[in-house]
Amino acid sequence: MRRGRLIVVSGPSGAGKSTLIRAALDAVPQLAYSVSATTRPPRPGEVNGRDYIFLSREEFERWIREGRFLEWAEYSGNLYGTPAHRVEEYLESGLSVILEIELQGARKVRQKRPDAVMIFVRAPSLEETRRRLEGRATESEDAMEQRLATAVEEVAARDEFDCEVVNDDYERAKQEMIEIMRRIVAGGEPC
Ligand code: ADP
Ligand code: 5GP
């Protein structure tokens, strides 16, 4: 069986990464999602083990010492990391694995795994990113402003990625994301 491919999806908070990834996972059976660990508290509706593995900072730091992360980073005051073990299992079994991670983590993965496919997702503008974060209403005012400030740096790094999906019209962007994922699992050029 051919090994799966590692896929990084990155981009500003509120761009629509999670929404587009959910649609791609539903449409493309050869894909798996890497559940990250985080010290951020769960949002209403988030399930431990499905959306994230929710850890205390102490537990997270122990996982770092034990070398359990493929990459980890601090974002908006919380730690986020990709457990390496499960990713390897998926790749070995022939599934391609999506990592939904922020920019510092994306750069670490690109260094460690130059064969990873790097996909950047953004909303058409910063104003629209703000509207979406306001609409999602999962962050405090302060946390939202911090995420929007980080978004400016993230958009400046978009040339570091192989593909860019501008999530303007949802149906169009969803189709584009699905097509990219289909090409990746078929072993072709993603974009
Ligand atoms: P991210 O994972 O990048 O932080 P989400 O997937 O949570 O972003 O999307 C942020 C918000 O924007 C959600 O409320 C989502 O329903 C909404 N959204 C996603 N895509 C679009 C789109 N194309 N147009 C308008 N709203 C969108
Ligand atoms: P959120 O708090 O909105 O779920 O995620 C905040 C940011 O952390 C997003 O950009 C998301 O992609 C990123 N993130 C989620 N999991 C990981 C991870 O395992 N590693 C890194 N580096 N970033 C992550």
pLDDT tens figures, 54-84: 999 999 999 999 999 999 999 999 999 999 9
Is residue 43 classed as helix, strand or coil in its secondary structure?
A: coil
Residue nearest to atom 12 of ligand 1 (CA): 132
> What is the number of the ligand 1 atom nearest to the C-alpha of 167?
23
Pairing of strands 96-100, 69-75: unpaired
pLDDT tens figures, 94-118: 999 999 999 999 999 999 999 999 9
Of the listed ligands, the closest to the CA of 98 is 2
- For residue 46, what pLDDT band results from cuts at 50, 70 and 90? very high
- For residue 179, what pLDDT band results from cuts at 50, 70 and 90? very high
Distance (angstroms) between ligand 1 centre and the Cα of 3 equals 31
The pTM for the full model equals: 0.98
Distance (angstroms) between ligand 2 centre and the Cα of 102 equals 5
Distance (angstroms) between ligand 2 centre and the Cα of 7 equals 14
